[in-house]
């Protein structure tokens, strides 16, 4: 029997404790030094060499639980992920999290462990030559979407809708549609008040139309094969006070539609956000400008048939195929507000900016750097757990950033200075190795000059003798001096981002200084 190849898995924000975080990871700071010739690129080369990595000469088998359990040693290690079994022994020495971490799932179902760690790592692509087969006992399959009503002509009957929605989630959202001669308007009733343009992601590709609305920790999905052709562009409007979203599609021909279309995967369902795969769309590279000796500002343009806005504090995954293997890495979009004096303001939300450091010995960033203007990169849906509500009534905002850990701070800074009436003070402490590594230094200094609420301090770990600013690493001394509240009991938020050991040490120091969990937001891998 032919075994279906698992779907591309590339979603999610990694969670879980530190040890779990390491398992399956392809890029954590808790990386174990790999032997010479055991980089990810070496692994990709091995998978292309034609070597039989499963020991089954390309045969795919059905694996029983007993059989899986037997393969539990380093030299013979099988792991099941989402019902598919991989022989990971050949991969052991290439796993950046180390062999022991991988062995935690030896001979067992590692799906939960994998999901808690790096759900977005594209294991199907990385381990495709290690695929042994499928588990004989099928995992529970979610309710088949084909059971839904086949023809859509607006809202489904209430009984059918509630059937597909989970009981613990927010009150059942629903949708409806209506048309004029030239337009089709799809209306999503979220029944929530905190909905905005960031909450909905719309993609139209060929005749497939998909709208994902984020409602708290759930996604409400409308996914339809449209019955008629529409034009590329569409508009999205949110009526916030009633939680209604209107998506206006332009018909290609002015004919009356008898039905909207047929349901596609997960249509009209409300599913936990962590269970939705990440959707990707191809974005075009519009510009690439040097910011420091190794960091560049990349501007990508979304396709006209996509509506996507990355919320503050969230990141996306960029995907490139490198020597035949799909590689996915997270990046945090920035806004261009610090550059606005130099540039025409951007009038629409079609552009996404990224500050990306190119690591000469890295796997992904040199490939990204080699892209030419006009080339395409796949960009995922946003992920992340930063909540704008953390800004409510905020008086003092402290930002601790190291290296490219500055990226989430850009939008946070912009939002705080323009949208929080209660704000008294924003301070950024920016850690870098040398002066040459400081991203947007003059722009930050100009902003501090222009807006008296904002202050910036640079701390260098490897300065030249000419540097007369602060030096060293994150420390109790530096923090206690920096984190002075503007009032005795002012409401404070501290955001911290950088290399994981920097962030972890920073959190410990902040706790020692008696800041509570609610007052600290860390951006971690």
- Binding residues (CB under 6 A) for ligand FAD: these are 27, 31, 33-34, 96, 315, 329-332, 354-357, 359, 361-365, 404, 407, 525
523 binds ligand NAP (CB under 6 A): yes
Residue whose token pair is 């916030």: 240
H/E stretch holding 211 reads strand 208-215
Nearer to ligand FAD, 12 or 330 (CB): 330
Q: Rule CB under 6 A: is residue 382 a binding residue for ligand NAP?
A: no
Structure token digits, residue 174: 């629903």
Among ligand NAP, ligand FAD, none, what binds residue 133 when CB lies within 5 to 8 Å by partner kind? Answer: none
Enter the tokens of residue 86. Answer: 């991989």
Options 13, 190, 380, 524; binder of ligand NAP; rule CB under 6 A: 524
Cβ atoms of 91 and 290 closer than 8 Å: no
- Examine residue 432 and tell whether it contacts ligand NAP (CB under 6 A): yes
Q: How large is the C-alpha radius of gyration of the chain? A: 25
The Cα 332–Cα 264 span in angstroms is 30
Closest CA to 412 of 479, 497, 502: 497
Q: Shortest CA distance to 161 belongs to which of 270, 322, 77, 4?
A: 270
| The entry of ligand FAD, ligand NAP, none that residue 277 binds, CB within 5 to 8 Å by partner kind | none
- Measured between alpha carbons, how far is 328 from 320 in angstroms, rounded to an integer? 7
3-state secondary structure 171-202: CCCEEEEEECCCEEEEEEECCCCCCCHHHEEE
Shortest Å distance, C-beta 381 to ligand FAD: 14
Per DSSP, what are the bridge partners of residue 356?
Answer: 296
Phi, psi for 360 (deg, rounded to 5): -55, -40
Q: How far is the CB of 127 from ligand FAD (least distance, A)?
A: 18
Residue choice 59, 69, 252, 433 for contact with ligand NAP (CB under 6 A): 433
d(CA 468, CA 488): 31
Is 329 or 427 the residue whose CB approaches ligand NAP more closely? Answer: 329
User: Can you point out the beta strands (E) in 240-341?
Assistant: 244-251, 261-263, 269-272, 280-290, 295-301, 306-307, 316-322, 325-331, 333-334
Q: Name the minimum Å distance from CB 385 to ligand NAP.
A: 10
Rounded least distance, CB 35 to ligand NAP, Å:
22
Judged by beta carbon, residue 45 or residue 250, the one nearer ligand FAD is 45
499 touches ligand NAP (CB under 6 A):
yes
Find the binding residues for ligand NAP in span 383-422 (CB under 6 A): 402-405, 407-408
> Which residue among 501, 511, 512, 513 contacts ligand NAP (CB under 6 A)?
501
Q: List the one residue out of 189, 382, 164, 166 whose CA is nearest residue 266.
A: 164
12 is a site residue for ligand NAP (CB under 6 A): no
Which of ligand FAD, ligand NAP, none sits in contact with 402, Cβ below 5 to 8 A by type? Answer: ligand NAP
* The two structure tokens encoding residue 136: 């004989």
Q: Does 508 bind ligand NAP (CB under 6 A)?
A: no
303 interacts with, out of ligand FAD, ligand NAP, none, CB within 5 to 8 A per kind: none
Q: Which does 497 bind (CB under 5 to 8 A by kind): ligand NAP, ligand FAD, none?
A: ligand NAP
Q: Identify what 34 binds: ligand NAP, ligand FAD, none; CB under 5 to 8 Å per kind.
A: ligand FAD
**Residues engaged in binding ligand NAP (CB under 6 A):** 29, 315, 332, 357, 402-405, 407-408, 431-433, 437, 461-462, 473-474, 497-499, 501-502, 505, 523-525
């Amino acid at each position: 029997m032919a075994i279906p190849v698992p779907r591309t898995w590339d979603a999610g924000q990694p969670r879980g404790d530190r040890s779990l975080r390491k398992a399956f990871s392809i890029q954590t700071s808790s990386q174990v030094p790999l032997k010479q010739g055991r980089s990810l690129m070496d692994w990709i080369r091995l998978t292309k060499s034609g070597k039989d990595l499963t020991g089954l000469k390309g045969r795919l088998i059905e694996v029983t639980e007993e059989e899986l359990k037997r393969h539990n040693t380093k030299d013979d290690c099988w792991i099941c992920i989402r019902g598919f079994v991989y022989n990971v022994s050949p991969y052991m020495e290439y796993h950046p999290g180390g062999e022991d971490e991988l062995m935690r799932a030896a001979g067992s179902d590692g799906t939960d462990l994998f999901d808690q760690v790096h759900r977005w790592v594209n294991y199907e692509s990385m381990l495709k030559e290690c695929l042994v087969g499928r588990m004989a006992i099928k995992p529970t399959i979610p309710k088949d979407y084909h059971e839904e009503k086949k023809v859509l002509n607006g809202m489904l009957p209430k009984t059918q809708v509630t059937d597909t929605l989970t009981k613990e989630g927010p009150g059942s959202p629903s949708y409806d549609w209506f048309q004029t001669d030239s337009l089709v308007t799809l209306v999503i009733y979220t029944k929530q008040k905190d909905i905005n343009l960031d909450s909905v992601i719309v993609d139209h590709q060929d005749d497939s139309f998909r709208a994902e609305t984020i409602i708290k920790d759930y996604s409400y999905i409308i996914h339809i094969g449209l019955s008629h052709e529409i034009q590329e562009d569409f508009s999205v409007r949110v009526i916030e006070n009633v939680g209604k979203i209107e998506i206006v599609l332009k018909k290609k021909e002015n004919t009356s539609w008898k039905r909207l279309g047929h349901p596609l995967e997960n249509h009209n369902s409300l599913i936990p956000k962590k269970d939705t795969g990440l959707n990707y769309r191809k974005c075009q590279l519009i510009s690439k400008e040097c910011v420091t000796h190794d960091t560049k500002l990349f501007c990508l343009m979304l396709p006209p048939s996509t509506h996507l806005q990355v919320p503050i504090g969230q990141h996306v995954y960029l995907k490139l195929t490198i020597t035949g293997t799909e590689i996915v890495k997270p990046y945090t979009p920035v806004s261009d507000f610090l550059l606005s004096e130099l540039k025409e303001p951007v009038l629409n939300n079609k552009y996404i900016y990224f500050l990306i450091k190119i690591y000469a010995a890295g796997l992904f960033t040199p490939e990204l750097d080699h892209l030419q203007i006009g080339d395409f990169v796949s960009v995922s849906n946003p992920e992340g757990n930063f909540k704008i509500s953390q800004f409510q009534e905020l008086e003092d905002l402290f930002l601790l950033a190291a290296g490219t850990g500055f990226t989430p701070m850009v939008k946070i800074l912009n939002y705080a200075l323009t949208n929080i009436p209660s704000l008294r003070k924003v301070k950024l402490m920016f850690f870098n190795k040398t002066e040459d590594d400081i991203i947007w230094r003059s722009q930050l200094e100009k902003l501090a000059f222009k807006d008296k609420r904002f202050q910036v301090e640079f701390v260098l770990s490897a300065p030249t003798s000419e540097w007369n600013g602060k030096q060293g690493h994150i420390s109790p001394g530096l923090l206690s001096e920096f984190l002075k509240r503007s009032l005795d009991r002012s409401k404070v938020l501290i955001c911290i981002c950088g290399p994981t050991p920097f962030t972890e040490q920073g959190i410990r120091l902040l706790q020692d200084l008696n800041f509570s969990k609610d007052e600290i937001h860390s951006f971690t891998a």
